[in-house]
Structure 1
Amino acid sequence: MTQSFVSIRAGKNALSHIQNNGLSADDVGLLMGASGGPKWFVLQGIDEWLFGEFFANKKQPLNTLGTSAGAWRFASLGQSDPVAASRLFAELYSHQTYSAKPDQREITSEAEKLLHKYVPEAAVKDILSQTRVHHHFIAVRCLRSTAHEGRRQALGLLSSALANSVNRRWLGRYYERVVFHHPASNLAISKDWTDLPTRHVALTENNFQPALLATGSIPMVLEGVRDIPGAPQGIYRDGGITDYHFDIDLSRVEGITLYPHFHHEAIPGWFDKRLKWRRSTGREWPNTVFMSPTEAFLNKLPYQKIPDRNDFAQLDAPQRIEYWQKAIDAGRWMADELQTLLANGRFAERAQLWE
């Protein structure tokens, strides 16, 4: 039996739809992208296929929602050549190098350089002037001690982690979710999030780059982004703090929510990684199609795992870059498998109910 490299799970309504109608680009109302640093490399092949072939003739606007690496991936969409932009991002990210003991300033500086190469001002103008793709990405405005750097920030992180372990809603005492969105956004959930304090800010040529930088500004690793134009004053950090893999109500999204993921679980927030009882499933997301690597895929990778930020410390630069490129190349197996299933009309056969 041929090994399968991609798992397809769907919420109740989504499964019924694809069993009766299959899956087409016009069925998709929302494309989701998770935080997770270089873990997304295994999705690069899927991204290139979606950004190029699959969505090429989509008639209705596509909404995207991402945090951190997910938001950065989707910044390829709306550029003049989204596939080329996506490949550039993968190359720039995978080839990042630092000194032996980089500090926050060095890591932040490298992120800023990458941002301006990947999404220069001309690309921002292209993204905001088109209406085929409506971007949404999340950063958090830090409150209390989380708005500081250094030791006070560390104490704030500890306090907010403890609060979150008791009640996820208590994160709202430490962070305000800020949804930066395309000015033509028609995403139904944009004004309906009530789980945490949430604010909505339209993207402009002045705030697109700093907002994108903020959504990937990992606490204690990168510096926070201060006073984003058009948004309330303050320090902004990684959107994955509140929405690592998301735990929001998607029931009002028109059409299917398509969620290519690098992990078999959807972990709501950054502090929920070790809280095994806190996971999002198709029961909460009945209109979502969730695609992720199988164990067979992982076993084919070097070190039998997907890339992560620990690789910076555990591998020298040439080893890490070689490993990450192999992960990117392997990800095309999943893309090829998905294309074959859709072309043969067998996508629904492979889909399982996600509970």
Structure 2
Amino acid sequence: MATDWLQLRAGERAWLQIKEQGLNENAVKLLMGASGGPKWFILQGLDRYLFGEFFAQRQTPLDLLGTSAGAWRFAALGQQDPVAASELFSRLYSTQTYSAKPDVNEITNEARKLLNEYIPDDAVHDILRQERFRHHWIVARCRGLTSSEGKRQLFGLLTSAAANSVKRSWLGKFYERVIFHHPASSASFTEHWNDLPTLYATLSSDNFKKALLATGSIPLVLEGVRDIPGAPPGIYRDGGVTDYHFDLDLSHVDGLVLYPHFHHEVIPGWFDKRNKKRRTTGRQWPNVILLTPTQEFIDALPFGKIPDRTDFAKLDAEQRLKYWQQAIEQGKWMADQLHEWIATDKIRDKVELWT
């Protein structure tokens, strides 16, 4: 029996639709990408397939929702050659090296260099001019001590984590969710996101790179981004702080939501990782299709795990680069399997009800 590298689960409405009709690219109205740093390497093969084949001929608009690495991945869409852009991002990110003890300034400067090589100014123009792929990035606008750097920021983070552990809505005392959206989008599917204070800003040539840098600016690791043009003044940080894997109302998406994800669980916010009671499920997301690696896929990876940021500290540069490249190559197994399931209509049998 052939090994399944990919697990495909769907909320009830999406599950029924796939069972009856299979999966058609025009049925998908929203593509989602989560925070997670290097974890996304195993999804690069899926991105390549989705960007270069599945959505390649699409004419109707596709909304994109991303935080941190998810937003950076999707910035390939709307460029002249999305597959080439995705592969460039993968290469630049996976081959990053730092000094023995990099500080916040060094890591931030390297992120800026990567961003400018991955998305030159003409690519920003192309993305904003086209209307097929409509970007939506979540960025956290900081309040109080969380807008500081250094030890004051650490105290703010600890305080906000404590508040979040009591009630997720209390996170809104420390952060505002800011949705930067493509100028062709009204962001109407987000209008009922009132779990946290939520603001909106339109993406432009003036703020595109700053907003993208901000949504990946991990607290204590990168500097916050100050005063993004077209948005309220303040310090902006990683969108995963408020929306790590998402816990949002998607009922106003007029169609299916496709969510390639690296983890079998969906963790709402950055501070919810250890709170096992806070997980988003298909019961809350009836229109979502969740694509994740199987345990067999993970077991076949070097070290039996997917890449993560701790690899910088645990492995030397040569080991890490080799491991990450293997993870990227192995991710193609999931892409090949999804392609086969869709082409042969096996997807009707492979989809599981996500409860």
Q: Normalised by the shorter chain, which TM-score bucket?
A: over 0.9
Distance in 1 (CA, whole Å) between partners of 2:318 and 2:49 is 28
1:163 counterpart residue number: 163
Runs (4+) off by over 4 Å: none
1:324 counterpart residue number: 324
1:285 counterpart residue number: 285
Does structure 1 retain, via aligned residues, the 8 Å contact 2:181–2:187? no
Distance in 1 (CA, whole Å) between partners of 2:6 and 2:25 is 19
In percent, how many aligned pairs have the same letter?
62
Distance in 1 (CA, whole Å) between partners of 2:348 and 2:238 is 35
Does structure 2 retain, via aligned residues, the 8 Å contact 1:188–1:254? no
Q: CA deviation at 1:60?
A: 1.2
Distance in 2 (CA, whole Å) between partners of 1:46 and 1:2 is 19
* 1:135 match: secondary structure: strand
Distance in 2 (CA, whole Å) between partners of 1:190 and 1:125 is 25
1:114 counterpart residue number: 114
Q: CA deviation at 1:187?
A: 3.9
Does structure 1 retain, via aligned residues, the 8 Å contact 2:190–2:252? no
* 1:200 match: secondary structure: strand
Q: CA deviation at 1:57?
A: 1.3
**What amino acid does structure 1 have at the position aligned with 2:89?**
F
1:63 counterpart residue number: 63
2:176 counterpart residue number: 176
1:92 counterpart residue number: 92
**What amino acid does structure 2 have at the position aligned with 1:230?**
G
Does structure 1 retain, via aligned residues, the 8 Å contact 2:77–2:127? yes
1:43 counterpart residue number: 43
Confirm whether residue 351 of structure 1 aligns to residue 351 of structure 2.
yes
> Structure 1: where are the runs of 5+ without partners?
none
Confirm whether residue 22 of structure 1 aligns to residue 22 of structure 2.
yes
1:220 counterpart residue number: 220
Task: Evaluate the alpha carbon distance shift between residue 29 and residue 187 of structure 1 in structure 2; reply closer, same or farther with a 3 A threshold.
Answer: farther
Residues 242-278 of structure 1 show CA distances to partners (whole Å, capped at 9, x for unaligned) of 0000000001101100000000000000000000010
2:12 counterpart residue number: 12
Does structure 2 retain, via aligned residues, the 8 Å contact 1:105–1:223? yes
Distance in 1 (CA, whole Å) between partners of 2:187 and 2:196 is 18
1:202 counterpart residue number: 202
Does structure 2 retain, via aligned residues, the 8 Å contact 1:76–1:85? yes
* 1:246 match: secondary structure: coil
Does structure 2 retain, via aligned residues, the 8 Å contact 1:190–1:200? no
Distance in 2 (CA, whole Å) between partners of 1:187 and 1:267 is 23
**What amino acid does structure 2 have at the position aligned with 1:220?**
L
Distance in 2 (CA, whole Å) between partners of 1:186 and 1:46 is 28
Q: CA deviation at 1:120?
A: 1.1
**What amino acid does structure 2 have at the position aligned with 1:15?**
W
2:127 counterpart residue number: 127
Q: CA deviation at 1:188?
A: 3.1
1:153 counterpart residue number: 153
TM-score, reference length from structure 1: 0.99
Distance in 1 (CA, whole Å) between partners of 2:222 and 2:152 is 15
**What amino acid does structure 1 have at the position aligned with 2:153?**
Q
1:52 counterpart residue number: 52
**What amino acid does structure 2 have at the position aligned with 1:311?**
D
Q: CA deviation at 1:190?
A: 2.6
Q: CA deviation at 1:191?
A: 2.2
Distance in 2 (CA, whole Å) between partners of 1:177 and 1:55 is 29
**What amino acid does structure 2 have at the position aligned with 1:331?**
G
Q: CA deviation at 1:308?
A: 0.1
Does structure 1 retain, via aligned residues, the 8 Å contact 2:268–2:278? yes
Distance in 2 (CA, whole Å) between partners of 1:208 and 1:345 is 39
* 2:88 match: secondary structure: helix
Distance in 2 (CA, whole Å) between partners of 1:37 and 1:23 is 29
Q: CA deviation at 1:318?
A: 1.0
Does structure 1 retain, via aligned residues, the 8 Å contact 2:299–2:305? yes
Distance in 2 (CA, whole Å) between partners of 1:59 and 1:282 is 28
Residues 112-159 of structure 1 show CA distances to partners (whole Å, capped at 9, x for unaligned) of 000000011110000000000000001111001000001110000000
Residues 276-322 of structure 1 show CA distances to partners (whole Å, capped at 9, x for unaligned) of 01000110000000010000000110000000000000111111011
Confirm whether residue 297 of structure 1 aligns to residue 293 of structure 2.
no
Confirm whether residue 141 of structure 1 aligns to residue 111 of structure 2.
no
* 1:243 match: secondary structure: coil
Task: Evaluate the alpha carbon distance shift between residue 145 and residue 174 of structure 1 in structure 2; reply closer, same or farther with a 3 A threshold.
Answer: same
**What amino acid does structure 2 have at the position aligned with 1:23?**
L
Q: CA deviation at 1:192?
A: 2.0
**What amino acid does structure 1 have at the position aligned with 2:259?**
Y
Distance in 2 (CA, whole Å) between partners of 1:38 and 1:188 is 31
1:238 counterpart residue number: 238
Distance in 2 (CA, whole Å) between partners of 1:272 and 1:348 is 33
Residues 69-117 of structure 1 show CA distances to partners (whole Å, capped at 9, x for unaligned) of 0000000000000000000000000000000000000000000000000
TM-score, reference length from structure 2: 0.99
Q: CA deviation at 1:186?
A: 4.3
